[in-house]
Amino acid sequence: MVEMLGSVRLRIAAFVLLIVAAFAALGVYVVRQVDSDMRANAEAYLGSQASVVANAVRPLLEDGAPQPAIDALVKRLGAGVDSRITVIAADGAVLGDSETDPATMENHGDRPEVRQALATGEGAAQRHSSTLGVDFSYVARTVFAGGGPPVVVRVAQPLAAIDSTLSDITRSIVTAVIVTGALAALLSLIVGSAIVRPLQRLAVAARNFGSGDLKGRVSPRPSGEAGEVADAFNQMAEDLDEMMSSLSEERSRLRAVLDSSSDGVVALDAEGSVTLVNRAAERLLGRQEDLLGHSLAWALPDDGALRAVQASREGKSRETAVVEQSGGRSLLLTVEPIADGGRWVSLLVLRDITESKRLEETRRDFIANVSHELRTPLASIKAVIETLQSGALDDKAAAQEFLVRADAEVDHLARMVTELLELSRLESGQAPFTKEPVDIGPVLSRAVERMRPQAERKGLRLDLDIAPGLPTIVGDAERLEQATVNLLDNAVKFTPEGGSVRVSARLADAAVEVEVTDTGIGIAREKLPRIFERFYKAGSSQVDRGTGLGLAIVKHIIESFGGTVSVDSTEGQGSTFRFSIPVADS
């Protein structure tokens, strides 16, 4: 741009020079022409005067008049014109001169115009006069009279007049050239800057534009063609600005979509460096530093993942890998090859499959447990039937005993199925749950009253202790009663005769805490962490004919109201099962 501006000025300067040179050449030509024209005119003029003088002198010569008479005539003629008149004899002696005494004048036989006239009858010369010391134009004619030697009449005029006229013309022309040149220069300066200034404005706007300022416009609008260029430029800036903002809008939309995804997304360029990473990926990769620009090997140091990326790039295919992270988290990595302008880049999607893997394992365990739990009572029933078939049926007393056993097994199976169904209904959200303010006191006393007959049958003491003024909690009274009954059922079951069971409720840290304490057999310390799992039984199956589902149901009910469950137990001394539920916001 700068060179272009320079060249605009240079071009204008060249034009100015051309104009000045043309004027100068014209001036030189005119001066030359005028000079030669004037000299030719002067010569013609002098020629005609010479003819007149020759005619005047001829009679004197024919009469053989003496030299002073010729001189006197010449002086007389000369007084009437502005020319100098000289008459010269063939030998060069001056016979008469209109301005000087011939006696004082040197021989003029060697003067070129005289020699020319003697030779051809006419002569002319322009030269310096040695007599008068200035430049003269001379014209000479020969006069023949009376058969004597010819005489030369010469008329002369100083060239000073022509010279001064010429120098006047020259001066005028030089002045004209200078004035024209100056005017042309001034004009071109004005025109030049009229062209250059808008261009400079365009250049500045373009530079701002290049440095990212798309809001800048060429202003004020230049006139003429530059204005059209500026309009086009401004329009382009506006279009680009719009395009850029819609692009960045698009970008932030994409960013928002990417960031709201729970799957991690990472893009790698052809060199394998990270060029894009969303929030979920940052979280899943667990790197505090900015991942951009780093290699995948740094961001996700896992051989399987690197192999999948490599294979995807080489085979242009989708690859998957499971990445086991420290801390027990599992990620499913999907690598998708993407063609980006002829180059292949990789798009990585990371999904946290820890939970689904855990669920899958739980499901597998559950099925194994259910099968195992069903097999034992079924095998017993099968054994009873076989025994009866093989003759025990005839022994009435034994048959009765076998039937009682079979009945107990069927009861156990039925209870297990009922509890399983209950648990599955609770977990799937099918069981009707209400969430309303509940006063825990009546709930606990209903549960205690339900269990009292069983406790009394075993000779156990059963106490209920409810702190006065307990706030209400949010939950489902029926479900809470069921949870309490489950806990009481265990307490009664695992407490030997003569023991005691106590239910208490109090306020603790904005929650109502319920405890079921017994003086029973207790639970081994190492078994406590798993006590709330489905099918988990702490005791041997011979002693304990439970299903292992009761506590799982309790945990599920309490947690669905935002509460927590816990247990303290000492083997041989007793257990305390505890649940607490936040009080309702008043």
Binding positions for ligand ADP, rule: CB under 6 A: 490-491, 494, 518, 520-523, 531, 536-539, 544, 546-552, 575
Q: Could you tell me the smallest distance in angstroms from the CB atom of residue 499 to ligand ADP?
A: 10
Q: For residue 467, what are the CA distances in angstroms to 199, 266, 471, 505?
A: 92, 57, 10, 6
Q: Could you tell me the smallest distance in angstroms from the CB atom of residue 490 to ligand ADP?
A: 3
| Encoded tokens for 168 | 């006047």
Q: Could you tell me the smallest distance in angstroms from the CB atom of residue 539 to ligand ADP?
A: 4
Q: Beta-strand (E) ranges in 20-108?
A: 84-89, 94-97
What is the C-alpha separation between 419 and 547, in angstroms, rounded?
A: 8
> 535-543: long-range contacts (C-beta < 8 A, 24 or more apart)?
535/366, 535/369, 535/370, 535/373, 539/494, 541/376
What is the C-alpha separation between 69 and 168, in angstroms, rounded?
A: 42
- Strand, coil or helix: what is 9? helix
- Residue placing its CB nearer to ligand ADP in the complex, 393 or 408: 408
Q: Could you tell me the smallest distance in angstroms from the CB atom of residue 475 to ligand ADP?
A: 20
Q: Could you tell me the smallest distance in angstroms from the CB atom of residue 503 to ligand ADP?
A: 12
Q: Could you tell me the smallest distance in angstroms from the CB atom of residue 464 to ligand ADP?
A: 17
Q: Could you tell me the smallest distance in angstroms from the CB atom of residue 332 to ligand ADP?
A: 34
Residue 23, CB-side half-sphere exposure with 13 Å CA sphere: 20
- Residue placing its CB nearer to ligand ADP in the complex, 198 or 522: 522
Q: Could you tell me the smallest distance in angstroms from the CB atom of residue 516 to ligand ADP?
A: 8
Specify burial of residue 46 (Cβ count, 10 A radius: 0-12, 13-18, 19+). buried
Dihedral, CA of residue 516, residue 521, residue 522 and residue 525, to nearest 10: -170
Secondary structure string (H, E, C) spanning 309-321: HHHHHHHCCCEEE
Q: For residue 572, what are the CA distances in angstroms to 322, 461, 531?
A: 47, 18, 17
- Residue placing its CB nearer to ligand ADP in the complex, 205 or 413: 413
Secondary structure string (H, E, C) spanning 261-277: CCCEEEEECCCCEEEEE
- Residue placing its CB nearer to ligand ADP in the complex, 138 or 532: 532
| Encoded tokens for 243 | 């395009």
- Residue placing its CB nearer to ligand ADP in the complex, 136 or 494: 494
Find the residue with minimal CB distance to ligand ADP.
Answer: 546
Among 578, 577, 560, 585, which Cα is nearest to 475's?
560
Q: Could you tell me the smallest distance in angstroms from the CB atom of residue 521 to ligand ADP?
A: 5
Residues contacting residue 445 through CB under 8 Å, at least 6 positions apart: 464, 466
Q: Could you tell me the smallest distance in angstroms from the CB atom of residue 498 to ligand ADP?
A: 16
Query: Using an 8 Å Cβ cutoff, are 280 and 350 in contact?
Result: yes
What is the C-alpha separation between 283 and 321, in angstroms, rounded?
A: 19
Query: Using an 8 Å Cβ cutoff, are 482 and 498 in contact?
Result: no
Q: For residue 136, what are the CA distances in angstroms to 83, 123, 159?
A: 10, 14, 5
- Residue placing its CB nearer to ligand ADP in the complex, 299 or 460: 460
Q: Could you tell me the smallest distance in angstroms from the CB atom of residue 447 to ligand ADP?
A: 15
Q: Could you tell me the smallest distance in angstroms from the CB atom of residue 522 to ligand ADP?
A: 6
- Residue placing its CB nearer to ligand ADP in the complex, 35 or 533: 533
Give the phi and the psi of residue 556 in degrees, each rounded to 5. Answer: -65, -45
C-alpha 202 chain-centroid distance: 23
- Residue placing its CB nearer to ligand ADP in the complex, 398 or 528: 528
- Residue placing its CB nearer to ligand ADP in the complex, 472 or 500: 500
- Residue placing its CB nearer to ligand ADP in the complex, 492 or 581: 492
Q: Could you tell me the smallest distance in angstroms from the CB atom of residue 575 to ligand ADP?
A: 4
- Residue placing its CB nearer to ligand ADP in the complex, 326 or 540: 540
Helices (H) and strands (E) in the chain, counts: 13, 17
Q: Could you tell me the smallest distance in angstroms from the CB atom of residue 537 to ligand ADP?
A: 4
Query: Using an 8 Å Cβ cutoff, are 577 and 515 in contact?
Result: yes
- Residue placing its CB nearer to ligand ADP in the complex, 475 or 550: 550
- Residue placing its CB nearer to ligand ADP in the complex, 222 or 522: 522
- Residue placing its CB nearer to ligand ADP in the complex, 389 or 540: 540
Among 572, 558, 416, 418, which Cα is nearest to 494's?
572
